[in-house]
Each structure stands twice: as structure tokens, then as C-alpha cells.
Homo-oligomer: A and B are copies of this chain.
């Protein structure tokens, strides 16, 4: 029982730090987008593509990984200034880790910051990081019941990207069911059906981010 109580304290501390993070970001004119999603949903690839298409902005990234720096390495190789954050045995980033990553970035030289969380749909839910928007990426290869199995992450997200629709038939999944499930959970959600392989749907995600960035109060 005391674990749960302690959990509340940790969560409140995190929320306060997340608010501080947001103020720091706003102070530097940085628009931050969380990218959540399971292992292999396509988070890193999506950031690579979005950064390429948002070429009028200076894009950077923070990439959370349990032990490796594979994701930040990939992003740096793709020309996106990136900081890797190892969470050790924790299955999510938290506001404190993100704040520490800010110190390794030149915030004044960033317009859009992607924060890629650790790959799963459970732990990151409660840990706000201070970003302006939260996007959850799910791949059809996770099974088309993955949305209904993980309601909280869709309730707390602003957009859902249903990815790898090019292999939907091969894995017997219905992207439409996934979209319907997501909207049932959160009618305010923007839902995009995408394929990084064919490019389908990606421009809609880009436009959504562009609009949200323009609406950022500075």
C-alpha cells in the first residue's frame, strides 16, 4: 500500500518538474512533441521522416532507451541533433531525465524538439515530460486489438499514428478498427493512418504538427 502512496509523491514531483520543463521550452520558443509507442512501432523512423519534411524548422530530439544509445545514434546519423537518455531499468522517461537532457542541447537553436520515449504503451502514460503535444504510434503488426488493450495512453494523447498500414493484410489487422477504437476512447484525438514505407498519410501528420507549432503561445 505504501508503494502506491509513494507513487503519488513521485508523480506529483514529476508533474511539477514537467511544468518547469514546459516553461523552459516556451522561454526558448521550442515546441516539444512526445513520441510514445511500443517497441518497433516506428517511433525513430517517424521522427526521421518528420524532421526531413519539417525542413523550415530546426529540429532536434531526445531519445530514451533502456540501455543503448541506438536510437539517438540513428537520429544523429540522420542529421538530427539528438541526446540519448538511458533509463536503466525504468520503462519510461520522466521530467527530471528530460530536464537534464535539455542541458546537452542548444535550446535557442531549436524550433521543434521530439522526445522519443521508451518503447511500451503502459509506463509512460502517467509521466508528463513538459511537452506541448503527445503522439502515440502503434503498428498494425501489434495486432488490431492493441488500442483497446491500452486505453490510457490514447486517452492522454493528442494524436495517434497507426503505422505500417502497408503490411496490414500480411498481419491480418484492420487499421480502421484501430482508428475506431482510438476515437471511441478519445473523441478529441487526431488519428492518422500511415506507412513509412509507402509514405501514405505522413504529410497529414506533418501538417498537424506544423499547425500545432504555429498555435504555440510564446
Cα(A151)–Cα(B39), bound, Å: 14
Whether A122 pairs with B91 at a CB distance below 8 angstroms is yes
Q: Which of A112-156 contact B (CB under 8 A)?
A: 118-123, 125-126, 139, 141-143, 145-146, 148-152
| Cβ–Cβ < 8 Å partners of A77 in chain B | none
| Cβ–Cβ < 8 Å partners of A150 in chain B | 39, 66-67
| Cβ–Cβ < 8 Å partners of A143 in chain B | 39-40
Query: Is A212 on the interface with B (CB-CB < 8 A)?
Result: no
Partner of A123, one of B39, B91, B145: B91
Q: Contacts A122-B91, A141-B141, A164-B141 hold; do A70 and B149 have CB atoms under 8 A apart? A: yes
Query: Is A217 on the interface with B (CB-CB < 8 A)?
Result: no
| Cβ–Cβ < 8 Å partners of A126 in chain B | 89
Integer count of this chain's copies in the complex: 2
Cα(A40)–Cα(B173), bound, Å: 11
Whether B68 pairs with A122 at a CB distance below 8 angstroms is no
**Residue of B with least CB distance to A153:** B66
| Cβ–Cβ < 8 Å partners of A6 in chain B | 2-3, 6
Whether A70 pairs with B39 at a CB distance below 8 angstroms is no
**Residue of B with least CB distance to A122:** B91
Interface centre among A40, A68, A141, A143, by most chain B C-beta atoms within 10 angstroms, is A40
| Cβ–Cβ < 8 Å partners of A171 in chain B | 141, 164, 167
14 further contact pairs, Cβ within 8 A, besides A39-B121, A39-B150: A3-B10, A38-B40, A39-B143, A39-B146, A40-B139, A68-B148, A70-B145, A70-B148, A89-B152, A91-B122, A120-B123, A122-B123, A139-B141, A170-B170
